[in-house]
Amino acid sequence: MDKQFCVYILASKRNGTLYIGVASQLATRVWQHKSKVVEGFSAKYGVARYPQICRTPAEKPLSA
């Protein structure tokens, strides 16, 4: 089975700050954002809601 990657968009609130990320383990990564484990953009702006998720197989590039 191919490894699945997720492109996800987090938001601070409705019409708030957006964060776009890529993860192979979405649940773990969302937990890291919500728990503010990593200091950075998402912790600074409080982005922890994820309104959009897109899964893709590993052989398809997510970015150039």
Q: Which two tokens stand for residue 21?
A: 């990320």
Residues 6+ apart with CB under 8 A from 6: 22, 23, 24, 26, 53, 54, 55, 56
Q: What is the pLDDT of residue 58?
A: 60
Kindly report the pTM of this predicted structure.
0.70
pLDDT digits (tens, 9 = 90+) for 5-60: 888 888 888 888 999 888 888 889 888 988 889 889 988 998 887 666 766 666 55
Whether the CB-CB separation of 46 and 26 falls below 8 Å is answered with: no
CA distance to 3, 12, 20, 21, 59, per residue, from 51 (Å) = 22, 10, 11, 12, 25
Domain ranges for the chain: 4-54
Whether the CB-CB separation of 38 and 32 falls below 8 Å is answered with: yes
